[in-house]
Amino acid sequence: MDFLNALVTLANFVIIPATAYGAQLALGALGVTLIYGILRFSNFAHGDTMAFGTMITIFGTWGLQAAGVSFGPLPTALLALPLGIAVTALLMIGTDRVVYRFYRENKAKPVIFVIASLGVMFIMNGIVRFLIGVDDQRFADGERFIIRARDFREMTGLDEGLAFRTTQGITIVVALIAVIALFWFLNRTRTGKSMRAFSDNEDLALLSGINPDRVVLVTWIIVAALATTAGVLYGLDKSFKPFTYFQLLLPIFAAAIVGGLGNPLGAILGGFLIAFSEVGVTYAFRKVVGYLGPEDWQPEGLLQLLSTDYKFAVSFGILLIVLLFKPTGIMKGKSV
């Protein structure tokens, strides 16, 4: 019984939250890695792209709520998600036209693209703060829990409860659908294959008649979809605050690099690795170990490796280890 209690505690506080967080990071890292693979630069504006997409979705949600539309037990934001994706895609394509295309045609160095993305980051940050403000926004509605802690206790007779929130369930399901769709697209469709070819070898791809403008266009649309979805899921699960989204840049980049920049599978793996380490290292294992140890015994300390304020240090630590020992990432990325 104690073993089961330990397992439930672990699932409640580590496994479920980390899986949801990992899915959100993976979607974010997929966007970063796609831009890196096809457009060949690290997009510092990605966190703010997520914030922008989420903001539009929140506006859509408010509009739907005001019109009395709801999605039953599911959050209304899911209905507004397509709108968020569409507007973000338009913004991305517009940004590419106005900013990035010039440097692409001039074959500028990658770092120039990065600096340009800093400018884009400033502007998008300004737009988001201008339109929605800097405060926390909670926009999750519908049923809050799939399993409530009390119901779980009554159902199983265990001492520990297990809560499974709707937003966590939705995160996992939506992320799964998005990833399957993305891989189907990249591996099975003609456009997807041309994107991979373009990523592997630009010159050869151009030689075989692939239209680079089309590849870039499709990439931005996919990136907008991934970023908006990641942002909305994160916002549903926690809350929306522009500055938090900006700070997500670090774990997302860490996930993409750890997995191997430019490698979509690696981005997913990296996302979950970062999420599980972050939650695992900052969780106090006292209760879990207490259940596993002898009867009537509790460990003295909290058994928490690092305080939660240092969660950035975890992604950073993993990043450093990977950079030191395997700079191309776990799954082989594009280049060092």
Partner 1 sequence: MSDATTTPQTGNSKTLLLFALVAVLFIGTGFVQSWNTALTIFNMGLISAIMALGVNMQWGYAGLFNVGVMGFVALGGLAAVLVSSDPVPEAWAAGGPSVLLGLVLGAMTIVAAILTYTKLPAGRLRALAVLVVLIGGFAIFRTVFDPAVEAVEAVDPASTGFLGGLGLPVILAWPMGGVLAAGAAWIIGKTALGLRSDYLAIATLGIAEIIIAVLKNEDWLARGVKNVTGIPRPVPYEVDLQANEAFVNAFSDPVTASTITVKLAYAGLFILFLIALIWLSEKAWNSPWGRMMRAIRDNEVSASAMGKDVKARHLQIFILGSAVCGLAGAMMTTLDSQLVPGTYQPLRFTFLIWVMVIVGGSGNNWGAVLGGFLIWWLWVQVEPMGLMLMQGLTYFMEPGSPLSEHLLDSAAHMRLLTMGLILLLVLRFSPRGLIPER
Please report, as ranges, the residues that interact with partner 1 according to CB under 8 A: 36, 41-42, 44, 99, 102, 110-112, 114-116, 118-127, 129-131, 133, 246-247, 249-250, 253-254, 257, 261, 301, 305, 307, 309-310, 312-313, 315-316, 319-320, 323-324, 327, 335-336
Report residue 32 as tokens.
């970063």
Environment class of 23 (CB within 10 Å of its CB; exposed 0-12, middle 13-18, buried 19+):
buried
Q: Which is nearer to partner 1, 120 or 174 (CB)?
A: 120
Smallest gap, in angstroms, from Cβ of residue 207 to partner 1? 26
CA 239 vs CA 97, 312, 328, 330: distances in Å:
32, 18, 34, 31
Q: Which is nearer to partner 1, 295 or 309 (CB)?
A: 309
Smallest gap, in angstroms, from Cβ of residue 38 to partner 1? 15
Contact of 231 with 53, CB cutoff 8 Å: yes
H/E segment holding residue 116: helix 110-132
Contact of 35 with 43, CB cutoff 8 Å: yes
Q: Which is nearer to partner 1, 62 or 71 (CB)?
A: 62
SS3 74: strand
Smallest gap, in angstroms, from Cβ of residue 290 to partner 1? 18
H/E segment holding residue 50: helix 46-66
Show Cβ contacts of residue 29 under 8 Å, excluding neighbours closer than 6 positions. Answer: 252, 253, 255, 256, 259, 267, 268, 270, 271
H/E segment holding residue 277: helix 264-282
Residue 78 CA to residue 174 CA, distance in Å, equals 10
Q: Which is nearer to partner 1, 134 or 207 (CB)?
A: 134
Smallest gap, in angstroms, from Cβ of residue 235 to partner 1? 20
Smallest gap, in angstroms, from Cβ of residue 68 to partner 1? 21
Q: Which is nearer to partner 1, 99 or 147 (CB)?
A: 99
CA 141 vs CA 61, 65, 76, 151: distances in Å:
10, 10, 7, 21
Q: Which is nearer to partner 1, 6 or 274 (CB)?
A: 274
Q: Which is nearer to partner 1, 149 or 303 (CB)?
A: 303
Smallest gap, in angstroms, from Cβ of residue 309 to partner 1? 5
Report residue 6 as tokens.
């330990």
Smallest gap, in angstroms, from Cβ of residue 258 to partner 1? 11
Smallest gap, in angstroms, from Cβ of residue 286 to partner 1? 14
Smallest gap, in angstroms, from Cβ of residue 240 to partner 1? 16
Report the sign of the C-alpha dihedral through residues 36, 41, 42, 45, in that order.
Answer: negative
Beta-bridge mates of residue 147:
164
Residue 72 CA to residue 79 CA, distance in Å, equals 11
Q: Which is nearer to partner 1, 50 or 78 (CB)?
A: 50
Q: Which is nearer to partner 1, 73 or 119 (CB)?
A: 119
